[in-house]
């Protein structure tokens, strides 16, 4: 039996993709396993897909062309290791130089450096911000839940890179509105104890979901019998 169930809910007050954490021992890995079918579901209405119904993998509109992607720490490490690069080499070769100077490890965009012929060349290693985006409506609690997971993982990347001396922010540089927003979010999550779950993990299956449940997302958790 799956530890996490993902489904589409039409009913009010929170229509959209919803989920249920069935087993309290479920991990981010379990959530991703349950979430992946949404990416491949051609029956699901997707705002930017061709005809509004398409697999994400074959999408010609492709959010990867313009996305502002800062990878979570699990994805960051796996991509670097797959490329057989040190973390410093990975940052210097695959990330936006000007954003790095701001302390924001954004992967080179327009299109994403890993997008070739409209195909993601690191699909199994892609970051949470990419995995969770399916351009369809999510219920409020689900949106908040995956938002928290994603930004906790991103903040873990920032803290890891800072601790390793890989990010050296330069003062006095201009920032876009997105830069300002992202810097603010990172500061907001910096002292969140859940960041340590990401920093201490080697796999998504090492990160429990339960600590990320709060009063707003409590409905996603099936009560223990």
Instruction: Tell whether 20 is covered by a domain.
Output: yes
**SS3 category, 83:** coil
pLDDT tens digit sequence for 127-172? 999 999 988 889 999 999 999 999 999 999 999 999 999 998 888 7
- Each residue of 31-60: b (16+ CB within 10 Å) or e? bbbbbeebbebeebebeebeeeebebeebe
Distance CA 98, CA 163 (A): 20
Instruction: Tell whether 129 is covered by a domain.
Output: yes
pLDDT tens digit sequence for 18-33? 999 999 999 999 999 9
Instruction: Tell whether 16 is covered by a domain.
Output: yes
Work out the pLDDT band at 199, boundaries 50, 70, 90: very high
Structure tokens at 174: 């201009």
Q: What was the pLDDT predicted at 54?
A: 78
Instruction: Tell whether 80 is covered by a domain.
Output: yes
Instruction: Tell whether 47 is covered by a domain.
Output: yes
Distance CA 224, CA 117 (A): 47
Strand intervals (E) in the chain: 4-9, 16-21, 115-116, 119-120
Instruction: Tell whether 225 is covered by a domain.
Output: no
pLDDT tens digit sequence for 85-101? 999 999 999 999 999 99
| Structural domain that includes position 72 | 4-220
The answer to whether the CB of 11 falls within 8 A of the CB of 18 is no
Structure tokens at 194: 């859940």
The answer to whether the CB of 137 falls within 8 A of the CB of 16 is yes
Distance CA 156, CA 23 (A): 26
Mean pLDDT of the chain, nearest integer: 92
**Domain total in the chain:** 1
Q: What is the dihedral of CA 177, 149, 92, 201, to 10 degrees?
A: 160
């Amino acid at each position: 039996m799956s530890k996490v169930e993902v489904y589409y809910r039409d009913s009010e007050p929170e229509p959209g993709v919803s989920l249920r954490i069935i087993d309290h021992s479920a991990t981010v890995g379990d959530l991703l396993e349950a979430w992946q079918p949404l990416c491949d579901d051609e029956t699901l209405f997707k705002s930017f897909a061709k005809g509004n119904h398409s697999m994400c993998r074959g999408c010609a509109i492709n959010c990867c062309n313009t996305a502002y992607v800062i990878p979570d720490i699990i994805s960051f490490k796996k991509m670097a290791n797959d490329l057989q690069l040190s973390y410093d080499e990975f940052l210097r070769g695959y990330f936006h130089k000007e954003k790095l100077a701001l302390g924001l490890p954004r992967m080179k965009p327009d299109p994403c450096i890993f997008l070739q012929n409209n195909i993601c060349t690191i699909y199994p290693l892609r970051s949470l911000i990419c995995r969770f985006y399916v351009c369809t409506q999510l219920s409020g609690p689900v949106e908040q839940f995956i938002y928290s997971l994603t930004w906790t993982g991103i903040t873990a990347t920032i803290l890891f890179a800072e601790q390793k001396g890989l990010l050296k922010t330069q003062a006095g540089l201009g920032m876009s509105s997105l830069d300002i927003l992202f810097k603010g979010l990172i500061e907001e999550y910096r002292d969140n104890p859940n960041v340590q779950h990401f920093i201490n993990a080697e796999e998504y299956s090492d990160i429990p979901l339960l600590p990320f449940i709060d009063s707003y997302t409590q409905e996603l958790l099936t009560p223990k019998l």
